[in-house]
Each structure stands twice: as C-alpha cells, then as structure tokens.
Chains A and B, each alone.
Chain A
Amino acid sequence: MSDRIQDPVRFIDERTGAAPALRKALRYLFPDHWSFLLGEIALYAFLVLVLTGTYLALFFEPSVGKTVYHGPYAPLDGTQMSEAYRSVVEISLTYKAGLLIRQTHHWAADVFIAAIVIHLMRVFFTGAYRRPRELTWLIGLALLFTSLLEGYLGYSLVDDLLSGIGLAIGYGVLLSVPIIGGPLGVLLFGSAFPGKGVLESRMYIAHVFLIPALLAMLIGAHLALVAARHHTQFRRDRRHTDRRLVGIPLFPAQAPRSLALLFAVMAVLFLLGGLVQINPIWQWGPFEPWLATNGAQPDWYLGWLIGALRLMPSFDVVVGHYTLIPNPFWGGVAFPLFVLGVLATFPWLERLLTRDVRAHNVLDRPREAPTRTAFGVAFLSWIFLIFAFGASDRLYVLFGVSYETLLDVFRFAIWVVPAVLFVLVRLLCRELGHTDRIERERDCAEREAGQAGAAAGAPGRVESRA
C-alpha cells in the first residue's frame, strides 16, 4: 500500500538517515515573543538582497572605462561617463522592472542593517549575550560590521557623484591609518585617488562574492549556534526557568508564522522599491574628482562615522616632519573600532563586574539589570548624538540653527546627555524593580491566602498567573 507522506520519508531516511534529526528539528521549540522575530527580519532582507543583487549583476558593468550615454534620460544624453554609471542609469531607466529591483535592493540593504541593529539592542538589553551565548554575540557583531562594509561598497560601485564623494572620504580615512595608511591607499586604489580604474573590479568582486559569501557563512554559524543552545526566553510564568524551555514547535505552529514573516518582509521591501524613491542616481550625474556637492548624505548606517568626522576638532598628531595620526583616523577608524571593542568585550566585562558566571537561558527584563540598561542607554545615546550630527547640515536647514552653534552644542551634548541618561535610567530601573518586588510579594501572599482558604474548604483563588 502506498502512502503519500510515509513513502518519501522512508525513501529519504533510508538513503540519508535523516529521520531522527528531522524528528528533532520539526519539534524544535520557539519561545513565542515578537522580539525574537527581529533577527528573522534581517535574515529575510538578506535573502532579498541576494536575489535582487544577482539580477542586478546581470546588467551591471563593473568598469570605470569612459563611454557616452545615449538613452531616454535627456539631461544626461551625450554626457561622458563611466561604463559602471551608464549601466546603472540604464538599469534604472531603460530596462523594465530594473528600477524596481534596484530600489528594492537598496531598501533591503537599509532594512537589513536596521533590523540587525534593533536585534542587537534587544539582545543587549535582555542580557541574551551571556553565557552560553557569547560566541553567537561575537558572530552577530562580525555580521553587523561586515554588513556596513558591504553596504558601503554597494553604493560606491555605482560611480555617480554621491558614491564618488563617499569613496573620496573612504580614501581619506584609509590614508589616515598611522604609518601604513599611505602605502595601503596606493595598494588598494592602485594609485592616488581616484586611482587608475582598478578599484572598481576589486570592489565588485568583494561586493558580489567575497563579502556575501562571508556573510552567508557567518549567518549559518549564527543560526547553528542559536539552535545548538536553543532560544532564550522571557519568564512569563513559573514554567520558564534556566533549565526548562517553553515554546511552540517548528512544525506545525512556527513554520507558517515564519513563512508569513518572510513574505511580509518581501512585500514591504518590494512596495518600498516600487513606490518610495531611493538614491535616484541619474539626478546626481557622473562622478568627477573635481566635483562635490552640498547636502550630500550617506546611507543611514554610515551617518555615525560622518558625524564623528565632523565633530573632531581640527588637529593632526605630528612628530617632527611626520604626520603620525591624521585627523580622519579618530572619527573614521578609532571610533567604530572602539564601539566594536566595547560591544565585543561586554559579556566578559559584565562578568568581571558582577561576578555572575552562571549560564543564563532566562532573559532579564531591562529593569532587572539597572546598571547594564543604564550603560546601554548612555552608550547608545552617545552613538546616536554623533549619528545625528552626521546630518548637521540637514539640521541647519530644518531648524535654522547655525552650523557653528550646532557644533558647539553637540560637542557638549555627546558627553553630558549620556552621563545624565545613565543616572536617570539607573534610577528608573531601580524604581520599577522595587514596584515589581512589591507586586510579587502581594501575589505570593494572595496565593498563600487562597491555598489556605481552599484547604479550609472555602472557595478561593487557587492559582494566579503572575
């Protein structure tokens, strides 16, 4: 007798021995909480990036060889430009659905990194990075910083004016690395900026193969580690402990939920790609090294670096005739490395300070770890203020406050606001924790009273869910 489900299962298991693993995988438990979906959003955005990026690569010409544009966009007709820029203008304006795919790709990159950052905040403020998940945390950080580079390379490839300005700044930051910066810049760019045209193919292979392959491997390792130690969980009631996991199984409950999220993320990204214009490169014109423009802003995830570059006071560290540390090093290299360093060592720093070396599977609510939460809010506000100053020229246009005043205010605020927030948030968390304790005690007392009542035969509250 044939069975439409049993037969294929048998066929596969006999040849692979997969049934025990599948049985386990189908019953893998997912704690049911919306905040666990943030990482999934990033994963699905990555999927969209790979699909749309592959399509774009079929049309993109990774060369800065000169050509002349002839096409439907009149303002550029007859303009000399690079092959790369011409091909992206054509993707955008000549090929049907080209603009949709290109804009969706760009939106997906922005959403991908945003989802990673919000996911990182969730993990930080709930203490999910603690033992035994420090490696997952480190891989996540590697993912974030690799994604920043990937995004930067992506919009640098286009060779429009905006991307050329971004590359010029990248070159300046690279040169600012003490001692080796100059030769490193020449090695990478092939000459002094803008180089002799060798950079484009180097960025291209990195953007479409090397870095995506690295990202895919990191994502695989990240997910494998999550599955190996299982998800963390919030303590909703007494069943949730560090030993015991409560959740809904992958099949049948979780699978359609995750798939629904996948399709929803794709729907949002394609809707954005169709309706909300992003980086209309045909309006910027081709890049020439003697051109720049006011009001140029990078993609959001590089704003913090622009802000840091702008906030630095004017000085180079000079030793004799030699420039040891050129100015852009502080904002462009030291600042992101410092942020990465703090985040990467945080699980161990916290362990040193709290002497809590136990393994944790139950998450903290932010209020339950006042110092961590306060530090996180202060650290984030520091980065956010620097990020906001990256758009200082836009702030000037919006609020009419002069750039010089804004600079003074921000140079003051980036130190004072985090300090004030640290104290306030710590107080707030302690206060909330105190209220929680009182409620818990009342609940306990009520339960005991109820049980005593039930024992005495009186109708009382037997169980109360906290």
Chain B
Amino acid sequence: MKLRQWLIALSALAYARRRRRREQPGPQPDGSHHRARLSRSPGDGRLVPPVPADRRAEHLVAVLLVVAALFAAGFVVVYAELEPSTLTNQLLGVCIAGSLACVAAALAVLARRLVVTEELEEDYPEPDPQAQDEVAELVREGAGGITRRRLLVGAAATAGGALGLAGLTPLLSLGPLWDTTPLQATPWHRGRRLVDTGGAPLRAADIEEETFYAAFAEGAEPDEIASLLVLVRMSPSALRLPPGRADWAPEGILAYSRICTHAGCAIELYRKPRFPALEPKPALVCPCHYSTFDPATGATVIFGPAGRPLPQLPLLIDASGYLAAAGNFSERVGPGWWGVREEPS
C-alpha cells in the first residue's frame, strides 16, 4: 500500500509539473514541445521557415539526376550488348554504382542547399505514472472475479505446454530425435579392400614413403565419413605404435581416419621434413585449426587443439598384394561427442 501512495504522489507531482510547463512556454518561442499543435513563425505564420531560392543548386541537382539516368541507361546497354565476362561484370557494377552515387549526391545537395535545416527542440517523452498505475489497476480489477487463480494458471500452463508439444511433434519426422548409431557406423571389417579416388584397389607396392594418399573402403558411399583414410608409408623401424598394434602396419604402411578428431575437417597436409636435422618429424596436419598427429606413434596429438589421436585402421596385404583392412578402427571416427570414447562394438 505504501507503494501505491508513492505512485499517487508521484503522478500528482508529474501532473502539476506538466501544468506548470504548459503555462510557461519553454525558452524557445517555437514551442515545438507542444504536442498537439505545431508552432508558427510569429512573422509570416509559416510552419517551416522559407529557404532562399538557389538556382545554381537546382541546376546541379538536375544535372546529377540526368547523369544518374545516363549511368542507368548504360547499365541496360551493357547488359544487352556484352557477353558475360569479368569486364561485363565490372562495367555493370560501375554503371549501377555510378547511377546510385549520382542520386546520392543530388540528395546531398538538396539537403544542404534546397531545404531548410532547422534545429528544433522538444521534450523527451517521459513515462506516465498515472497510466502505468491505471493499467495495473485494470488488469488487477478485470481479473478480480477469478478466485481460483492458481488453479486456472496451472491449467492454462498445462494446456499451453501440451499444445506446444503436440505442435512440435511433426518435427520429429525431420530425423531421429535421439540416435547416435550414424556416429558409430563404419564400413570396415577384415578383408575389405582399400581403393583410391578413382575406385581402383590400392597395391601395397605402389605406396611410397614421403607422401600421403587418400583411400576409401571398396564399394562404400562417397559421403560415408568413416570410409575416408589417409595412408602413409614409413620405415618399419621408425614406428612406435601403441601396444597390441604390432602387426597393424604391414611393411610400415599406416592407415588412419582422414577426419580430424577436433572439428571434423579432412587431414589434408602431410608434413615431411626436408631437412630432418632441423625440422620436426613427419606429421599429419589438419589445415583448419592445425591439429598435428604423429603417424609413427599411432597418430597421437603432438600439437594443436585435438583431444584424441586419429583412429587407426589395422591393415593387411592380401595374397595378390592389395591392401585391405584387418579389422575395424581402434577408436570411433570423427569429432568428439558424449559417446566417442566408448569401446567400438
């Protein structure tokens, strides 16, 4: 109740102040803070002061507008006459920009020389405590007949929530609401061959050191992310693979998932030292955020933001010398999520 008294006092004050102000006009005789009527100049009774005629400015505006029209016509001519090319594009851009710039210039001259720039004053709008009070009162009194307000609010919230849920339900057709199986899918199993970008099977003998290859699962869909491999050959004596992976790299040929474990870009850089004495060892690098993996040690992270090594695919060389998987990846493929570290099934 104290609040209410305060509000009434405030509104009375504000009202009185407004009355006072209306009685004494502001310091500027233009009186533009009067809301209802605009003030007129005491001399000639005009609302907007006259601006002296400026023939030269008028001519300038006319010339600018004509030039704008010429540029626009130029645009049409270029469009009609020239074949698509870099030059056509440049001419079209210059024509349309020239036309727009001339209109802008004409308007600027108009603003400066042909219309009056009056500096006026007015009061900032102020909140009306009386109106605020009355709105609150209207709401309070209008809803005053409802006695079991809590019950009704609860029921309305229930209805609204249920309706909203029902309305959103068709969106479930967009996709599975809670399905992580696509994140775990892999085309690899023992014996599945590796193919190159053209789909031809890869022979172990064709894989050279000091470069890297893209490889895919034979017959896999091109957009199957777990199919994508990066393939390198290193000297078997240089390998320091984690325990249990001794036979994963026949002849020193290593296959890792091509998808960076940080944010999912493709591993597209192979850093091979040109001056081994000065430069660091060979590394697989993602060009997006420069996560860097050491192929000799099972693609452990040696630099950059990635939190997991690249999953390694165990390889075998079949009887005819072709490369094939000897099993599934060591870990799940792709950027991290809740279940990425679970044991692959």
Contacts and interface: CB of A to CB of B under 8 A. Distances in A.
A93 B304 CA distance: 39
Given A187-B177, A256-B107, A310-B305, A326 B340 contact: yes
A198 B175 contact: yes
A93 B85 CA distance: 7
Interface string B40-73: 0000000010000000000000000000000000
Interface stretch (B96-104, B145-153, B247-255): B96-104
Nearest to A306: B289
A263 B101 contact: yes
B32 interface: yes
Interface string B158-193: 000000000000000011111110110100000000
Interface in B120-161: 120-127
A183 B172 CA distance: 13
Nearest to B51: A252
B288 A186 contact: no
Given A228-B125, A306-B289, A322 B101 contact: no
Contacts of A271: 93-94, 97, 101
A17 B174 CA distance: 48
A243 B124 contact: yes
Contacts of A169: 263-265, 288
A74 to B, nearest CB: 14
Interface residues of B, number: 94
Contacts of A314: 291, 301, 303-307
B336 A326 contact: yes
B97 A274 contact: yes
Interface stretch (A1-9, A284-292, A364-372, A441-449): A284-292
Nearest to B291: A314
Contact of B338 (A24, A230, A295, A322): A322
Contacts of B183: 175, 182, 185-186, 192
Contacts of B288: 165, 168-169, 292, 296, 306, 309
A96 B335 contact: no
B124 A244 contact: yes
A311 B304 CA distance: 8
B320 interface: no
B96 A260 contact: no
B343 A321 contact: yes
A293 interface: yes
Contacts of B98: 267
A247 to B, nearest CB: 7
Given A169-B264, A185-B337, A230 B305 contact: no
B93 A270 contact: yes
Q: A257, A315, A327, A332: which has the most chain B beta carbons within 10 Å?
A: A327
Contacts of B180: 182-183, 186
Given A168-B264, A181-B337, A244-B121, A274 B175 contact: no
A252 B287 contact: no
Given A176-B336, A263-B100, A271-B94, A323 B341 contact: yes
A312 interface: yes
Interface in B79-98: 79, 82-84, 88-94, 96-98
Contacts of B121: 29, 239, 244-246
A265 B14 CA distance: 44
Contacts of B262: 172, 309, 327-328
B77 interface: no
Nearest to B37: A23
A186 B92 contact: no
Contacts of B178: 183
A324 interface: yes
Nearest to A309: B289
Contacts of B124: 229-230, 242-245, 361
A266 B100 contact: yes
A173 interface: yes
A212 interface: no
A324 B268 contact: no
A180 B338 CA distance: 8
B107 to A, nearest CB: 4
A172 B264 contact: yes
Contacts of B117: 248, 253
Given A260-B108, A296-B288, A97 B79 contact: yes
Contacts of B339: 182, 322-323
Contact of B303 (A72, A193, A270, A404): A404
B264 A310 contact: no
B96 A172 contact: no
A182 B107 contact: no
A142 to B, nearest CB: 21
B125 A323 contact: no
B9 to A, nearest CB: 19
B32, B174, B267, B307: most-surrounded residue (chain A CB, <10 A): B307
Nearest to A98: B84
B306 A327 contact: yes
Interface string A238-279: 010011111111001100110111111011101111110000
B337 A326 contact: yes
A186 B266 contact: no
B254 to A, nearest CB: 17
Q: Which 9 pairs between the two chains have the least Cβ-Cβ distance?
A: A274-B93, A326-B336, A172-B263, A316-B307, A182-B337, A263-B104, A172-B335, A260-B107, A271-B97
15 contacts: A27-B120, A172-B335, A175-B337, A182-B337, A183-B176, A185-B183, A186-B182, A187-B176, A229-B124, A246-B119, A248-B119, A270-B93, A273-B93, A292-B265, A316-B336
Given A242-B124, A253-B115, A290-B197, 11 more contacts: A97-B79, A97-B92, A168-B266, A172-B262, A176-B337, A182-B183, A270-B100, A314-B304, A314-B305, A314-B306, A323-B339
Interface of A: 23-24, 27, 29, 32, 72, 93-100, 103-104, 132, 165, 168-169, 171-173, 175-176, 178-183, 185-188, 190-196, 198, 202, 228-230, 239, 242-249, 252-253, 256-257, 259-264, 266-268, 270-275, 288-296, 306, 309-316, 318, 321-324, 326-328, 331-332, 361, 393, 403-404
